[in-house]
Amino acid sequence: MNLRDITMEDFKEGLEVTRTVIIPYGTVEEHGTHLPLSTDTLVVNEVVKRVAEEVKVFIAPPIHYGVCTSTSQHPGTLGISPATLRRITVDIVKGARAKGLRGFILISGHAGGLHLAAMREAGESLVGELEDIGMAVISIYGLVQRDAISIAETENDSHAGELETSLVLYLAGGLVKGRSKKEYPELPKPFIVRDKIKHWPGGVWGDPEAASVDKGRMLFRIMVDKVVGVVRDMENLRLTDS
């Protein structure tokens, strides 16, 4: 049940079936020269839409903006602060709870460290304040990490690389414009550098040339199955706690 498309009567009827909502998080962020700025949002939104076809759950419209650090200076990246992301999350969850929802699955298509930390901080504060809710905070790539390693041919594949390119090829192939070159960031950890593009000019982490539609199809299916499992676990949690 996609909140974007249903009426208030549909919503009231849906509450008789489930009190769980998935809130997807994405970004407007560079993904090399070959993938759209909406890649993170595109992937996670398609995953949760498919999940809603397989299990009864509410789906919120995606939050399109996220916290971007390493890519913050690249063309096209439009980020928000951790404080803004925390505030948006708190407000949306409290608003949804006021309308009867009790199980909250916050799932991000962006794996940035500060981004996920902001989501988790918001989740922790909400659970501490609201005793009648269930909360899960997930990175879609963290959820499938082991399976993704078995699919990828590229070692240490990540941002805009083999697997992310494969997913977009499968879900929206018309948006893929050629392939960026294989690249890995050379950010001098643990230092925080001012000129991030100097150390990561192409904005790619992995080898897009190794991508394929079949790999994208396989990984997408795994993502859907994993999230369906989380929804079912949340439903059981809410039944137990009620």
Taking residues 117-124, report their average pLDDT. Answer: 98
Task: Say if residue 128's pLDDT is above 50.
Answer: yes
Helix H or strand E segment including 105: strand 103-108
CA-nearest of 162, 144, 140 to 153 is 162
Residues 6+ apart with CB under 8 A from 3: 11, 21, 58, 59, 60, 61
pLDDT digits (tens, 9 = 90+) for 167-190: 999 999 999 999 999 999 998 989
Residue 232 phi, psi (nearest 5): -65, -40
pTM over 0.85: yes
Domains and CATH numbers, the chain: 8-229 (3.40.50.10310)
pLDDT digits (tens, 9 = 90+) for 23-44: 999 999 999 999 999 999 999 9
**Strand-by-strand arrangement of the 103-108 sheet:** 58-59, 20-25, 103-108, 134-139
Task: Say if residue 242's pLDDT is above 50.
Answer: no
Long-range CB contacts (within 8 A, 24+) of 178-181: 178/33, 178/34, 179/34, 179/208, 179/209, 179/211, 180/32, 180/33, 180/34, 180/204, 180/208, 181/208
Residue listed under structure tokens 């929804």: 231
Query: What residues form DSSP beta bridges with 220?
Result: none
